[in-house]
Structure 1
Amino acid sequence: MKPKLKDVAKIAGVSMTTASLVFSNQGRISEETRVKVLNAAEFIGYSKKKKQSNMGADANIGIMYSVDPEWAFILLFIRPIIAEIERELKKINLNTVLIPFHYNSSDEIIAEKLEDIECKGVISIHYGKASLFSFLENSGIPVIVVMNNNFQNKFYSVCVDDFQGAYEGSLHLLELGHKRIAFLDYHRQDLPMLSTDRFIGFKKALDEKGIDFPESDKIYYNPKDSDQCKKDLAIVFNCKPHPTALFCLDDDIAARAMQLLKELGLNIPNDVSIIAPGDVLDYSMPYIPQITTMHIDTTYMGRISAQMMINRLTHYPEEVHVLKVKQQLVKRGSCKKI
């Protein structure tokens, strides 16, 4: 069995990150540690593989995605991304290997998984951790971050233009005559920029029309306490006059909000219009409420993610590249002109 980086690290008594930094001549590593790592590598016959411009057949590209319960609803949404990545990479004989993980997984555990399957590159969907990505890049493994705007200044990224989507979605409500629009937010721990970008886009549309947004009209949804969200919605929508529209962070949250508003005796869209970015939900299913959304073309995102990876593997671009995909309005009847 071929020796691996984790074997070197274990013998040298250091972390895989430290061992990787020694081989890539990165970071501040003491001479004593450097010698220990190199001696351990020589002892077991380990040598760092050089990056090749011709990947050859059957090289593996890892696709990382979260299997934490709070992200279960997103698997349907990212499936076209994964399918398109696999389709594009297969054209040049690259295999795709799915790498499930938990949000609290350590860099070491994930790095070991990637080394075990001898990954030549990694595409991470939603998940982002600078320390892990830096480790991989320093180890000669290119990383593409998909649908996470937090790292676009540091790593190659394919993102959704969340600002544009929220701005244009809000304009749609304004063009329908809505003057008071509430905002339903939700904090996703590993996507903090998602909420920020979408709220800024939402607010810009209102500002351009000279419409004030009271902070009391910003409501927070906690999936572990929907009763509190119902109470907060009641405070906002039981007043006279109440907002005539609700912009939701995504359509999964919008579907939950629709149910809560119905329980409060409000009709969608006669009493409240609802719009959200996403298409996280499967609208072909009869039990899914039909929500007007700013559609994200996940198939296209998968294609350009694969092309970016191929380019990195074969052309060695030096500057970090970021591609942003625009959202498109899809009307499904949850918004009404007033």
Structure 2
Amino acid sequence: MVDSINPVRLEDVAQAAGVSLATASKALHNKPRVSEQTRQRVLQAASKLQYQPNILAQSLATGTTGTIGLITSDLNGRFSTPILMGAENELSTQSTSILLANARGDSTLERTHLEKLLALKVDGIIIVNPETNPRKPISTSIPVPIVYAYAPSTNSNDCSVTCDNVEAGRLAINHLISCGRNRIAIIGGDESFCAAQDRTKGALEALHEVGLEPAGQIRYGQWDENWGRAATRMLLSQGTDFDAVVCQNDQLARGCIDALKERGISIPTDVAVIGHDNWEVLTQSSRPTLTSIDNECEQIGRIAAHNLMDAINGNPHHGVDFVSCRLIQRGSTVPLD
């Protein structure tokens, strides 16, 4: 049992682990130049002794508070929630907590949240937006490090982390080709979004590498099921010969599947369909279940938090880190016999 009158000190942990005070501190804060074996020995000693760090003393000694702020404008949390989870997982071994604020897509509210978080003396800030369109920096005079997640900053000197949508477009085409499909149509989302442009770019590159062109015209519209249905009906009414469809998000794919089923077309036997975003509320309820590309938002959050801690510790990152997406195969795409 922990003694509330004589609490366990860092010195006690160091003595129990057989290391110096400095080494114990580095191990508990996941600092470099400590072997994994030593780190584990210190962590085990701390756990056995039920060591609780003195946050106030640490703050006074280091000039940090052990907190970072995360400001999101993602109203439904589809992207910000896994980014938050990834950041928390990265910070879980570093005694750092996250204060979350939702700006609800309002730039004025975003700035207000920033000022409140700075008043709370957070050590750094992660900014999350719900699309990958580059955004203006929230400020050029923030006194703490900042990392932009999902939507990169337009300032190349800033640190940003986002998904690789060009590679995702290639991934979708290459998967369908591996399934034996070679007449592949593409249904785009809103062309004003970088995600639509980048996914198309990657898809066309992959098609051209094997001497193919898209089946029918690439059309762009809203990111919803209605446009997925309408675009698919246009492909069918124009007599386009296709055996697969790349849809640039899962809502488009659900609409596409509905329109194909209306015509008695079997998925995936006659036409394979792939979506993007891996939104499980859609991919799992689709019949058949929907193959989709995951943006790896947890990994984006993990890298964003890692880069932010590097900056807090005096090693800032600059430019954009592109995180590879991951294909999740389900029932809507299978290899041809």
1:297 aligns with 2:299: no
1:157 aligns with 2:156: no
User: Paired residue for 1:144, among 128, 142, 147?
Assistant: 147
Distance 2:238 2:281 in 1: 33
Query: Residues 83, 241 of structure 1: CA spacing in aligned structure 2 closer, same or farther, 3 A cutoff?
Result: closer
Greater shift, 110-119 or 247-256, is seen at: 110-119
Query: Residues 88, 150 of structure 1: CA spacing in aligned structure 2 closer, same or farther, 3 A cutoff?
Result: closer
Distance 1:321 1:54 in 2: 28
Q: What is the CA-CA distance between 1:103 and the residue it aligns to?
A: 2.2
Letter in 1 for 2:172: G
Cross-structure match for 1:320: 318
Letter in 1 for 2:187: L
Letter in 2 for 1:308: N
Distance 1:117 1:263 in 2: 56
Q: What is the CA-CA distance between 1:89 and the residue it aligns to?
A: 2.4
- Greater relative contact order (Cα 8 A, min sep 6): structure 1 or 2? 1
What are the within-5 Å matches in structure 2 for residues 1-338 of structure 1? 54-57=62-65, 59-68=66-75, 72=76, 75-106=77-108, 108-126=111-129, 130-133=135-138, 135=139, 137-149=140-152, 151=154, 153-187=156-190, 192-213=193-214, 216-222=216-222, 226=226, 229-282=228-281, 290-317=289-316, 320-338=318-336
Query: Residues 225, 281 of structure 1: CA spacing in aligned structure 2 closer, same or farther, 3 A cutoff?
Result: closer
SS at structure 2 position matched to 1:278: coil
Query: Residues 255, 150 of structure 1: CA spacing in aligned structure 2 closer, same or farther, 3 A cutoff?
Result: farther
Letter in 1 for 2:214: F
Letter in 2 for 1:79: T
Query: Residues 178, 286 of structure 1: CA spacing in aligned structure 2 closer, same or farther, 3 A cutoff?
Result: closer
Distance 1:53 1:210 in 2: 63
Identity %: 22
Flag structure 2 segments of 5+ consecutive residues without an equivalent: 1-59
Distance 1:224 1:130 in 2: 23
Distance 1:152 1:199 in 2: 25
Distance 2:299 2:179 in 1: 30
Distance 1:132 1:150 in 2: 6
Flag structure 1 segments of 5+ consecutive residues without an equivalent: 1-51
SS at structure 1 position matched to 2:280: coil
**Contact 1:143–1:156 (CA under 8 A) maintained in structure 2:** yes
Q: What is the CA-CA distance between 1:332 and the residue it aligns to?
A: 0.6
Cross-structure match for 1:19: none
Q: Deviations over 1:252-294 (max 9, x none)?
A: 4322332333234433212321113322224795567511123
SS at structure 1 position matched to 2:273: strand
**Contact 1:166–1:277 (CA under 8 A) maintained in structure 2:** no
Distance 1:188 1:82 in 2: 28
Query: Residues 176, 157 of structure 1: CA spacing in aligned structure 2 closer, same or farther, 3 A cutoff?
Result: same
Cross-structure match for 2:43: none
SS at structure 2 position matched to 1:198: helix
Letter in 2 for 1:299: E
Query: Residues 154, 259 of structure 1: CA spacing in aligned structure 2 closer, same or farther, 3 A cutoff?
Result: farther
Distance 2:224 2:213 in 1: 31
| Number of residue pairs the alignment of both structures matches | 274
Query: Residues 223, 328 of structure 1: CA spacing in aligned structure 2 closer, same or farther, 3 A cutoff?
Result: closer
Cross-structure match for 1:25: none
Letter in 1 for 2:217: D
Q: What is the CA-CA distance between 1:96 and the residue it aligns to?
A: 0.6
Q: Tell me the TM-score normalized by structure 2.
A: 0.70
Letter in 2 for 1:165: A
**Contact 1:269–1:334 (CA under 8 A) maintained in structure 2:** yes
Q: What is the CA-CA distance between 1:131 and the residue it aligns to?
A: 4.2
Query: Residues 167, 86 of structure 1: CA spacing in aligned structure 2 closer, same or farther, 3 A cutoff?
Result: same
Query: Residues 125, 139 of structure 1: CA spacing in aligned structure 2 closer, same or farther, 3 A cutoff?
Result: closer
Distance 1:161 1:125 in 2: 16
Query: Residues 220, 241 of structure 1: CA spacing in aligned structure 2 closer, same or farther, 3 A cutoff?
Result: closer
